[in-house]
Amino acid sequence: MRLYLLTMCLSWVGIGGWLICSSTSVAQEKSKLPAVPEGYDDTPVIPGQTWRVHDRHRPRPTAVKPGDELGQPPSDAVILFDGKDLSAWETSGKKGDDGKPAAAGWKVENGYMEVAARSGSIQTREHFGDCQLHIEWATPAEVKGKSQGRGNSGVIIMGRYEIQVLDSYENDTYPDGQAGSIYGQHPPEVNVARAPGKWQVYDIVFEAPRFDGDKLTKPARATVFHNGVLVQNAKEFVGPMAHKEVHPYRAHGLAGPLQLQDHGNPTRFRNIWYRPLRAEQTPWLSIEGGEGNGQGKKVVLIAGDEEYRSEEALPQLAKVLAKHHGFHTTVLFSTNPDTGLIDPNMQTNIPGMHHLKDADLVIMALRFRELPDWQMQYFVDYINAGKPVIGLRTATHAFNYSRAKDSPFSSWSFNSRKWEGGFGQQVLGDTWISHHGRHGSQSTRGVINESAKSHPVLRGVKDVWGPTDVYGIKHLPADANVLLWGQVLAGMQPADKAVDGVVNNPMMPLAWVREHKSAEGKVCKIFCTTMGASTDLQSEDLRRLIVNAAYWATGIEDKIPEKADVSIVGEFKPTMFGFRNDPKFWPSQKLTPTSFAN
Ligand code: MG
């Protein structure tokens, strides 16, 4: 499949086995509306809705760019296979020698993948549920076997619900097992199979089942077009796929892997993509850049800490960078893989790390994450490529390998002995040391380091204050250039006095820049500050410091404005920092990336 570079309000990014694209946000669409939008406000209210007929105030649908040719992914699709490699896939249920899911062993050539018989079914590493799914397939041109033995495979959504793939061209078999069937349950309405070896296409609308505790409240359902012809119309699954049996539903979450079946026949697949059915199911937040000094540069912001509300802070930073400075921004979140909901306590899953493949800058506010190796690999590759990082607050202890101690990335752990102090100490400049000020009762004043006051990152920065305490810093290497010192204040108000005595003499480094030489000899520009809670971002000059750092890190420090515009975009009501240990708390908040879109 070809890659596109679309200009205008859309952008494509080609990366490994993924293609990601982003479209104009709803908020932007609204902002483009004329002062008096087209429509009416004196018409009757539509029964069952809150909108009037032709309501002028009704939100306009998000703009999505269709593929240039039929069947090609639209701008908001998540590409699962673009014909190049199987990096987005793993072998189902089979572990490698290291105990991790084994790499997918199917053949990839000429833009398609082909079942390597008996290497095992494969599945996507990312999990999803409700979707529009596009998938193209071809059974072997050379016909061997009969009935279920001809070109058998399957598209098994959430690893449970199968739309059968079979050579159904002049091949008798049981109808609920032919191509287009919901296997073992519903035959297709018609048999629209193409001849063996020809490419065929499924377009599927799938809705995951819903459960209340163990009780099924809504069965799974699929609408399937086979070669453009409707073969399943909103058909309900009676349960998960089974052979010669009926299996009842067993409660599960809202997301699962897409599986492709190894049934021993060399069936081929290509051009696989999906779209979440609703915008709130997109597992990251993309905000299109516009005009501005950062135009054309991509910033990925990674939120994932239990305490300092990075899920609030980073979307606001992303909006400031995009709306005022033109950077294209994408925010990733720690997310419960089963529900798709943001959960800062979920240390082991951040969907969308593949966005790092072509990022120009990463801004991270992670704490004690322990990502699966395939997600972490994107981060490690990014650092090894010598790309810049802005670390906020807990980023000094971003990773903690307390479970997967044999991971190839365990040395990135904040407490690593093998690579002393891990990512924090080695790359940013220090790891977790201590609360130097009293946590929750002594706030922090940023004091400009006189010898660095002409540094471009400090341009227009004077008054930095935040309610978080000063962190202890012990190992900062001599090459680090301290921009701000952290002065411990006696209380939680900006007017509070500095504490007398040794705690402020000398003061701890609060913000610094340095260069890190990666394992591959490349040099990363680093900006790090131990401030950065969402409440800290109420400080205009802290926002300015970080925005200036984004310019510096991406090589456009000569364009840093005298006083960068960092005015708040949309709604920003930061929550006071604190842990939320009740396991029911985050699920009850029902936060998704779109919660922070406006
Ligand atoms: Mg099958």
Please provide the DSSP assignment of 75-134 as one string: TTPEEEE-SS--TTEEEEEEE-TTSSEEEP--EEETTEEE--TTS--EEESS-B-SEEEE
- 256 and 314 housed in the same domain: no
pLDDT digits (tens, 9 = 90+) for 444-495: 999 999 999 999 999 999 999 999 999 999 999 999 999 999 999 999 999 9
Query: Are 307 and 337 in contact, with CB atoms under 8 Å apart?
Result: no
Span from the CA of 351 to the centroid of ligand 1 (angstroms): 29
Determine, yes or no, domain membership for 479: no
Predicted TM-score (pTM) of this structure = 0.79
Determine, yes or no, domain membership for 217: yes
What is the reported pLDDT for 3? Answer: 33
Span from the CA of 266 to the centroid of ligand 1 (angstroms): 12
- 268 and 286 housed in the same domain: no
What is the reported pLDDT for 33? Answer: 63
What is the reported pLDDT for 21? Answer: 36
Count the domains in the chain.
2
| Residue 332 belongs to domain spanning | 2-49+281-435+508-593
**How many Å apart are CA 121 and CA 143, to the nearest integer?**
22
What is the reported pLDDT for 464? Answer: 98
CATH code of the domain in which 201 resides = 2.60.120.560
Chain mean pLDDT for the chain:
91
Span from the CA of 152 to the centroid of ligand 1 (angstroms): 5
Determine, yes or no, domain membership for 381: yes
What is the reported pLDDT for 32? Answer: 56
pLDDT digits (tens, 9 = 90+) for 539-590: 999 999 999 999 999 999 999 999 999 999 998 999 999 999 999 999 999 9
- 271 and 314 housed in the same domain: no
- 89 and 162 housed in the same domain: yes
Determine, yes or no, domain membership for 532: yes
What is the reported pLDDT for 49? Answer: 87
Span from the CA of 263 to the centroid of ligand 1 (angstroms): 7
Select the more confidently predicted residue: 289 or 559: 559
- 96 and 225 housed in the same domain: yes
Determine, yes or no, domain membership for 468: no
DSSP E strands, 396-480: 434-435, 444-448, 464-466, 471-472
Span from the CA of 268 to the centroid of ligand 1 (angstroms): 13
Span from the CA of 171 to the centroid of ligand 1 (angstroms): 15
pLDDT digits (tens, 9 = 90+) for 360-414: 999 999 999 999 888 999 999 999 999 999 999 999 999 999 988 889 999 999 9
Span from the CA of 214 to the centroid of ligand 1 (angstroms): 28
Last residue of a domain, one of 247, 276, 305: 276
- 84 and 232 housed in the same domain: yes
Determine, yes or no, domain membership for 565: yes
Span from the CA of 154 to the centroid of ligand 1 (angstroms): 4
Q: What are phi and psi of 170, to 5 degrees?
A: 50, 50
- 299 and 395 housed in the same domain: yes
Determine, yes or no, domain membership for 342: yes
pLDDT digits (tens, 9 = 90+) for 156-210: 999 999 999 999 999 999 999 999 999 999 999 999 999 999 999 999 999 999 9
- 44 and 149 housed in the same domain: no
- 86 and 226 housed in the same domain: yes
- 9 and 99 housed in the same domain: no
Span from the CA of 177 to the centroid of ligand 1 (angstroms): 8
Span from the CA of 162 to the centroid of ligand 1 (angstroms): 7
Span from the CA of 131 to the centroid of ligand 1 (angstroms): 20
Neighbours of 84 (CB within 10 A): 17
- 395 and 326 housed in the same domain: yes
- 234 and 332 housed in the same domain: no
Query: 579-595 burial, b if ≥16 CB within 10 A, otherwise e?
Result: ebeeeeebeeeebbbbb
Of 154-158, 283-287, 538-542, which gets the smallest average pLDDT?
283-287
Determine, yes or no, domain membership for 25: yes
What is the reported pLDDT for 392? Answer: 98
Span from the CA of 79 to the centroid of ligand 1 (angstroms): 23
Last residue of a domain, one of 276, 306, 333: 276
Last residue of a domain, one of 256, 276, 296: 276
